[in-house]
Amino acid sequence: KPAIVWFRDDLRLRDNPALHAACQTGVPVICLYIHEPTGEGRRPGGAALWWLHGSLAALDADLRARGGQLHVLAGAAGEVLKTAVDKIDAGAVYWNRRYDPAGRDIDTQIKADLRARGVDAHSFNGSLLSEPWTISSQSGEPYRVFGAFWRAFQQRTVEPPLPAPPACAFAPLPEEAAQHFSYPTGLEPDPQRPDWAVAMRADWTRGEAAGLACLQDFLDEDLAGYADNRDRLDARTTSRLSPYLHAGNVSARQLWHALSARQHRGMAAGDRDAEKFRLELGWREFSYSLLYHCPSLHERNLQPDFDAMPWRRGHEDLGAWKKGMTGYPVVDAAMRQLWATGWMHNRARMIVASFLVKHLLIDWREGERWFWETLVDADPANNPASWQWVAGSGADAAPYFRIFNPVTQGEKFDPDGTFVKRWLPELGRLAAPFIHRPWTASSTQLAAAGIHLGKTYPFPIVDHKIARERALAAWRSLRS
Ligand code: FAD
């Protein structure tokens, strides 16, 4: 009997345990992806859908090169699988696990249903370095502090990645079965009118081959110096692998072991750089551990005392933040980069998130939702965990009273204003000393740079000192 491989956020051939196991059985293998436009759980945002579409197309092409094909079906996963299994008389279904609460519930139900009908269901870890339920404190509780989590994690061995699957007897979905499914809506090719993905296409190539090339580039060009440079906004200092990791175009295990291989060959990257990069992968594991143990991570404060936070309902301010029109250049440049390319540097994410939550005193969930809609790497674990971390409501979070000054952050991590000028062309002729605080330039200097504050670029929507005091007062009110 044929086997079904159900692809989800593991859109690759290499290091894909579910695909590998199915291929090893020698039976015909039919590859499916099920788009679930309605139903339980969070729907991917627009930018992540764009990434998903490209990744599915790339995976289909990769499978076709090996004599296979990816069938993209739509509907509630349980129903679609049930019909597919019946129509092709499948003997087994293989998939790699997901960890979002709704996805887990669906998978548990599907597994039980399949087994009740005599169909084997096999699930694997294709996404994480270590399963979230395997790391807990001596009392059996999940770790709430990253340092302790990381120490426990480091006691483990990370499984080596699998190669591309062995020769596989791929089979198409029989015509008779295919007729039961329609091509999914909500997963169209690239947008046309308006074509909001122009800059995204220029910035990114989606799919497994592009992910592996991105990894190779990072190892060759940017790993050396990563520990010292990774906070700089004005150059490419990080891997930009996050969307590939999110869609599973590459796996965390591949990254982990690619670093080890470099270190063993004594290549340019120092141990410190490799360790720092591993630590970041560790934060991803920690976020998934939080998601696993706290299913409503994107809805509820991990620290319940934050429920009483007197958030402002500042719709105009929220709009200015989203559009990159706050009057703080580093914030605005980052928000416009996000809108154009679907990605933002980690330091910039921290700056804009802090600005929203502390300077504007707007609920972190508003920002989380905007990131969810606009990030190509919008991730059910990393996004809410990081927002809660910045807001101070999360596990092991940055203390709320530590409030970034957007001017000094800009001056420190984009000293010449290169990043700001790239995304805010209206400030392009302003000299470096003023680029992060244009309102301090004289009217002559502004005029020489072609800037009319309030017209060509906004005045700051809040004063840093006043906003800081307001945020601290709000935070103190929680404690009294
Ligand atoms: P690199 O520095 O090259 O790191 C390599 C990988 O490690 C990343 O791809 C990512 O998977 C992981 N990583 C790095 N930093 C972190 C971190 N702080 N927390 C968890 N994992 C990390 N990351 C997402 O993948 N999706 C999100 O939706 C997301 N939302 C965020 C929201 C906020 C408010 C903040 C502050 C951070 C968010 N991050 C998110 C984490 C981090 O900013 C991105 O993973 C990183 O910027 C991606 O760029 P990179 O691949 O070049 O990172």
* Domains 3-126 and 304-479 belong to one CATH topology: no
- The residue from 280, 373, 426, 439 that is catalytic is 280
Q: What is the pLDDT of residue 153?
A: 95
241 lines ligand 1 (CB under 6 A): yes
- The residue from 196, 311, 373, 426 that is catalytic is 311
366: annotated active-site residue: no
Considering the domain 304-479 in this protein, what is its CATH number? 1.10.579.10
276 lines ligand 1 (CB under 6 A): no
221: annotated active-site residue: no
Task: Report CA-CA distances (Å) from 301 to 103, 298, 339, 370, 397.
Answer: 21, 8, 27, 18, 11
Contact between 40 and 102 under an 8 Å Cβ cutoff? The reply is yes
3-class secondary-structure state, position 223: coil
CATH architecture of the region 3-126: 3-Layer(aba) Sandwich (3.40)
Q: What is the pLDDT of residue 269?
A: 47
Instruction: Strand 120-124: give its sheet, edge to edge.
Output: 70-74, 29-35, 3-7, 92-96, 120-124
**Residue the block writes with tokens 């790497």:** 377
Considering the domain 128-161+207-293 in this protein, what is its CATH number? 1.25.40.80
Low-confidence ranges of the chain (pLDDT < 70): 39, 182-189, 264-270
CA distance linking residue 395 with residue 385, whole number of Å: 8
Q: What is the pLDDT of residues 297-317, one digit of tens each?
A: 999 999 999 999 999 987 899
Q: Would you list the domain boundaries of the chain?
A: 3-126, 128-161+207-293, 304-479
CA distance linking residue 38 with residue 382, whole number of Å: 23
Q: What is the pLDDT of residues 325-367, one digit of tens each?
A: 999 999 999 999 999 999 999 999 999 999 999 999 999 999 9
237 lines ligand 1 (CB under 6 A): no
